[in-house]
Structure 1
Amino acid sequence: MKKLLFVFVIFPLYFFGQINPINFENPGVGSVWTWTVFENDDNPILEIINNPISSGINTSKTVAKFTARRLGQPWAGCETLHGSDIGSFSLDSSNCIIKIMVFKNKISDVGIKFVDPTSAAQPEIKVSNTLVNQWEELTFDFSSRIGVFPIIKDQMVIFPDFDPNPRYDDEVVLFDNITFTGFNNPLSWECMNSICTPQNNNSGSFSDSLSCVNFCMQSSAFNFNVNKKKIIRISNFLGQESSRNKYIPQIYFYEDGTVEKKLLKNY
């Protein structure tokens, strides 16, 4: 049985930006968006309410209130409107860390994912709260999704109570202050010896890692059954060392000094 198939792509560049931060204030961002609730029994609307605990880490006046119905699905959630609201954007080193404040009375996962205009999406990333009955900020690391299809997103989906266990009553989850920040917040990126390197100043040629990788490395044909070059290192688009993964663009460094950017479809 043949066991190959590496597919290589050159990623197009886009320069859009998501709206940031999403704070549900008036005036502000998020409070008048078209939020659609799904898979939640009778799908009660996402409410914008006064912050019941406006102290500690969250002193906002208003927040979002999601009521997870007892008969709703574990993945019940809410989503923004395609083509408006959050805007069109791609993930790169400047915005791949997403944070959200939540107020929950139970421990369960919160999920976030991003969708393109055709409804294509990678699976959600889930993070559990560790505190109850108080505000807590959760951090979602989307750096592994940089350069991964679909490149351009225009919708955000939030799963406030992603719990596989049955709900015995309706669960109210508050969330607020969704932010997009950079990975270690480098000021610029530079292509050095076919490696994208973060700079601590503005002297780099590129403002984000995705732009740098597209110009820094050339994709090339590769057959796993034929090419026996010794791999000495694999990294992601942020230069972090990683193991070999399918369906995620990675950078391969070989013993002979060559470097290849590729998307592994099968091995």
Structure 2
Amino acid sequence: MKKIISSLAIFSLVIATSCSTPDGIDSDLSALDSTNPGNFDKIFDVSTDNSGLVKITPIADGVTKSVIAVGHGTGDPVTVYPGEFTTHVYPEGDYVVAITSYDIAGNSVVNEFPLDVVYRAPENITASTTNFAGTILNLTASADYANGMQVTWGDGGSGEVPTVMTGSLGGDFTAPGHNYAPGVYTLTVTALSGGAATTTATFPITVFAPFGLPITYESPIQNYGVGGTFGGVGTAKVANPFPGGINTSNTVWRYTKPTGAESWSGTWTPLSAPNGVPINMDNGMKIKVMVYATEVGKLLNVELEQASTGIPNQVLKVAPTVANQWQELTFDFGASGIPAGTSFAQLVFRYNDSAGGTGEVIYLDNITQSN
């Protein structure tokens, strides 16, 4: 009997001993006051593309979480845990980022860090222009790191207000069509960083006048190359190689029919609106052309096409009668039966259309219309 009691006593003692709470695993957290978090710092990763994006990564020893007040805007502070970060988009400027660090005991420390966000000046401005409806210019531009763009068209005087272009960072910017008077201008594109830095570039702009008679080959705002050639001939505006006699002008039109060019080769010039002025035959039935040829007898064609009244194309051929000097040839359409009110939307020149090219070169100038 005594043996059994003794065993029970021992068992009871073991139970009592097992239920005791070991040191350090109870509700007393006073020992955590000695965790000593420290080495507070931050990492600011500021983007360089003018987006204003900043990555904020708190770093410290012994911290369980950080609460970041970004110092800009009205949003709530952001809580991050060790190894995490937050981002914020800043305008250019100086800011103070406040980071509240918490240790395992719930104690907190606030540290403030200055942040300087500076946008870089845009680079590599490019611009492309297209014309439509005559003298209206469309502009598209781009630049590296551009947060915005403006254009000064160059025709508004010293007080011209820049036009704001539409677009976004990393893409193209466009401006509404601008209506110029024919002339030569300097267009200025200003690329904006989104901050204080800007970059400008200038581009020469020639706005051509509508093409029509008379054709002098002297105007800086006339596109004498409008239209084109066919059959292998070539054309170019050149300095007058033979000034004298009836033609002392500075520039003329060179027409080349090289060996191998087709007999039917020639040039065509559109004269229809908005880029041209049709030839209205009510203003005169005669087309006059100054010609310099190195030989006589080969016919020059003046052809009027695309009649407003639906009549067939009109063709007249006249040969130079003198060589190596300027001569004015007259192409009289008065006997062609052209109805009153007829205008033609295209002018064509052909030379010696009875044979292929043999390397002929002639010069044309001062194309006029008269009665």
TM-score by length of 1: 0.53
Q: Check if 1:79 corresponds to 2:79.
A: no
Sort the Cα spacing of 1:70 and 1:80 in 2 relative to 1 into closer, same or farther, 3 A.
Answer: same
Residues 70, 170 of structure 1: 8 Å contact kept: yes
- The answer to whether 1:130 aligns with 2:351 is no
Q: CA RMSD in A?
A: 2.8
Tell whether the 8 Å contact from 2:261 to 2:356 is kept in structure 1 after alignment. Answer: no
How far apart are residue 22 of structure 1 and its match? 0.7
Match of 2:218 among 14, 20, 25: 25
Q: Partner of 1:153: helix, strand, or coil?
A: strand
Distance 2:217 2:236 in 1: 10
* Residue 261 of structure 2 is aligned to residue 68 of structure 1: no
Q: Say whether 1:101 aligns with 2:290.
A: yes
Give the aligned residue type for 2:290: M
* Cα pair 2:302 2:349 within 8 Å, conserved: yes
Q: Which amino acid aligns with 1:25?
A: E
Structure 1 counterpart of 2:306: 116
Tell me the secondary structure at the aligned position of residue 335 of structure 2.
Answer: helix
User: For 1:52 and 1:89, how far apart are their aligned partners in 2?
Assistant: 29
Q: Which runs of 5+ in 2 are unaligned?
A: 1-210
For residues 196-216 of structure 1, give each alpha carbon's deviation from its aligned partner in whole angstroms, at most 9, with x where no partner exists.
xxxxxxxxxxxxxxxxxxxxx
Q: CA deviation at 1:83?
A: 2.3
TM-score (norm 2): 0.39
- 1:37 matched to 2:229? The reply is yes
CA contact (8 A) 2:212 2:271 kept: no
How big is the shift at 1:33?
4.2
Shift of 1:58: 0.3
* Partner SS for 1:177: strand
**Structure 1 moving runs of 4+ over 2 Å:** 26-29, 81-86, 117-123, 144-152
What residue is the counterpart of 2:364 in the other structure?
A: 175
Structure 1 residue matching 2:354: 3-state secondary structure: coil
Percent of paired sites with the same residue: 28
Q: 1:162 to 1:114 in 2, by over 3 A?
A: same
Residue ranges of structure 1 left out of the alignment (5+ in a row): 1-17, 183-267
- Partners of 1:148 and 1:53 in 2: CA distance: 39
Q: Distance in 1 between matches of 2:336 and 2:281?
A: 7
The structure richer in strand per residue is 2
How many pairs align?
159
Higher relative contact order (CA 8 A, sep 6+): 1
Alignment of 1:190-209 (within 5 A): none
